[in-house]
């Protein structure tokens, strides 16, 4: 059985199996894996099939193709080294690891991104992008197929906190979003050769969101939500097809595909209340309209109380779920935006929630995952502690282990912290 969104997408999308999780959020927001059956309970001593330490530190999500699990990390006091590692899905044993020199060496600390962009993969291999501008393609056995230094080609990235946008892909190309205070752009590269197919410049800005492929009348568009605009690009040419600027606070969350031409947008005020007015009018459902070959974006509904912080919202089983910085989740009717309930999570979630079957999983920052049963009323099924949280996480809550990213697999999850990789589900 294929996932719901795999059935919806056209053949130009990257060829992957139904059980794969080949990109950030599964690719075309494959958060509703209808054939998967993960557990609802686990702990540090029960329900963990394996866990392995990771060299260096990383904030990207794991991705899965067949029995290959790929993760990225950086290492060194000045982030001197970029690492790509491949693990066996069944045993957790490391298959290979590649270490390369970073083209942008800056202090390795909790306030800058550390291997934040999630790679993409298909049957031909994996494509890893780092905030240093290094982009490397590997075959499944870890042999380098090609590499690019985007800083050398297009200029140095600027900004205090680094780059966060993950890669997106179709069958024959990958897409890079470089939103920063220096040269900003969106870029398409050929998967086989690594050559640039097109490059479209963007206004410089501070943002860490990722591009997403959205089907519009069965054809893909690349949608970007970042710091004051939502923009749509043609995947074949890079032409900007439409832009929507009635938003704010949309610096982190990624557009979440709901169906053909529709997606959710998440936004939140800054820690000091920045963009509070803009974020209130931004969280909601949007639709791409096509009339006589021209495209525009409209807001179908908005909810001024709901917002999402580090994690993006999720659409599942007729509901939209938004989790804010304080760990409060808002359940909304997906068609109308009407609030159904609010619930207090065990912890604020940094990884984007995943909806599967009768449940939605919220992966808390400090290792506590809250499982909600779907429906119009609150029903917390379980709170699972993968490890015991230590203190308050230090300045800004960034210290200690953090559940940064998750990949769904048919019988569980692959969870990644800064320095560890877990397989949940026995």
Q: How confident is the model over 266-279, as pLDDT tens digits?
A: 999 887 777 888 89
Instruction: Say what the pLDDT of residue 10 is.
Output: 33
> Is the pLDDT reported for residue 158 higher than 80?
yes
Instruction: Give the list of residues 6+ apart from residue 373 with CB closer than 8 angstroms, or none.
Output: 358, 359, 379, 380, 381
pTM of the model: 0.92
pLDDT above 90 for 16: no
pLDDT at residue 119 above 70? Answer: yes
Distance CA 254, CA 356 (A): 19
Name the more confident of 276 and 9: 276
Contact 390, 103 (CB under 8 A): no
What's residue 396's pLDDT?
42
Express each pLDDT in 62-111 by its tens digit: 999 999 999 999 999 999 999 999 999 999 999 999 999 999 999 998 88
Which pLDDT band holds residue 391 (cuts at 50, 70, 90)? low
- Asked if the model's pLDDT at residue 182 lies above 90, the reply is yes
**Structure-token pair, residue 393:** 């996480």
Residue 81, token pair as written in the block: 């080294």
CA 83 to chain centre: 19
DSSP 293: T
d(Cα 209, Cα 250) in Å, to the nearest integer? Answer: 8
Q: Give the residue, 60 or 19, on which the prediction is more confident.
A: 60
Q: Could you tell me which of 256, 274, 229, 251 has the C-alpha nearest to residue 113?
A: 251
Longest dimension (CA), the chain: 59
Give the up-direction half-sphere exposure of residue 130: CA atoms within 13 A in the CB hemisphere.
32
Check whether 167 has a pLDDT greater than 50: yes
For 67, the 3-state DSSP assignment is coil
- Between CA 194 and CA 213 the distance in angstroms is 20
According to the model, what pLDDT value does residue 35 have? 81
Q: How far apart are CA 8 and CA 217, in angstroms?
A: 10
């Amino acid at each position: 059985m294929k996932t719901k969104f795999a059935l919806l997408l056209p053949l130009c999308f990257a060829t992957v199996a139904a059980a794969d999780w080949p990109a950030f959020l599964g690719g075309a927001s494959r958060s509703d894996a209808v054939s998967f059956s993960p557990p609802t309970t686990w702990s540090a001593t029960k329900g963990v099939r394996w866990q392995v330490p990771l060299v260096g530190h990383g904030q990207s999500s794991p991705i899965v193709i067949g029995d290959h699990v790929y993760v990225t990390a950086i290492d060194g006091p000045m982030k001197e080294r970029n690492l790509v590692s491949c693990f066996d899905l069944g045993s957790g044993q490391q298959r290979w690891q590649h270490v390369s020199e970073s083209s942008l060496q800056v202090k390795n600390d909790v306030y800058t991104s550390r291997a934040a962009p999630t790679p993409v993969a298909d049957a031909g291999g994996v494509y890893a992008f780092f905030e240093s501008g290094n982009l490397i393609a590997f075959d499944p056995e870890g042999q380098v197929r090609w590499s690019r230094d985007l800083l050398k080609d297009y200029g140095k990235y600027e900004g205090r906190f680094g780059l966060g946008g993950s890669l997106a892909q179709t069958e024959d190309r990958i897409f890079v979003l470089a939103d920063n205070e220096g040269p900003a752009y969106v870029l398409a590269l050929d998967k086989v050769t690594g050559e640039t197919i097109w490059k479209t410049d963007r206004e410089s800005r501070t943002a860490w969101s990722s591009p997403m492929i959205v089907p519009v009348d069965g054809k893909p568009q690349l949608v970007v939500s970042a710091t004051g605009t939502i923009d749509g690009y043609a995947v074949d040419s890079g032409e900007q097809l439409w832009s929507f600027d009635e938003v704010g606070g949309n610096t982190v969350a990624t557009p979440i595909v709901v169906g053909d031409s529709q997606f959710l947008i998440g936004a939140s005020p800054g820690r000091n209340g920045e963009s509070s007015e803009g974020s209130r009018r931004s969280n909601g459902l949007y639709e791409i309209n096509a009339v006589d070959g021209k495209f525009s974006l409209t807001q179908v509904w908005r909810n001024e109380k709901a917002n999402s912080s580090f994690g993006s919202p999720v659409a599942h089983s007729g509901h939209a779920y938004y989790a804010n910085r304080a760990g409060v989740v808002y359940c909304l009717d997906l068609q109308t935006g009407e609030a159904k309930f609010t619930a207090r999570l065990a912890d604020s979630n940094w990884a984007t929630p995943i909806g599967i079957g009768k449940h939605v999983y919220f992966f808390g920052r400090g290792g506590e995952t809250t499982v909600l049963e779907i429906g119009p009323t609150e029903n917390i099924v379980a709170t699972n502690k993968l490890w015991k949280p230590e203190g308050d996480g230090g300045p800004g809550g960034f210290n200690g282990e953090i559940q940064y990213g998750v990949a769904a697999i048919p019988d569980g999850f692959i969870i990644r912290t800064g320095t560890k990789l877990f397989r949940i589900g026995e």
